[in-house]
Amino acid sequence: MTIANYSIVQSGNGWTIDHDGTLEGDYLTKEAAFEAAAVAASNSIKQGYGVEIRVQARAPGETNVGGPP
């Protein structure tokens, strides 16, 4: 079974999606990146892939949605 992997990772002052090793998008918050990854993952499911979405835990000083304090 093929798995499409989506990881939400910090990029500069924002967030991006690492999709199977390719960085995609530029988002202000971790939450916004997650929502975009969920849409992409839904499309992958429709194509017959399994999906995995990973999000880092909140870092010290980071807001709950991953935006700037």
Q: What ranges do the domains of the chain cover?
A: 3-55
Would you place residue 66 in the very low, low, confident or very high pLDDT band (cuts 50, 70, 90)? confident
* Angle at CA of residue 60, ends 6 and 57, nearest 5°: 25
- Interior CA angle at 26 toward 39 and 13, to 5°? 135
Express each pLDDT in 8-26 by its tens digit. 999 988 999 999 999 999 9
Q: How far apart are CA 48 and CA 51, in angstroms?
A: 10
> What is the mean pLDDT of the segment spanning 59-69?
77
Vertex 54: Cα angle to 50 and 57 (nearest 5): 160
Show the tokens assigned to 34: 């997650």
Confidence of residue 1 (pLDDT cuts 50, 70, 90): low
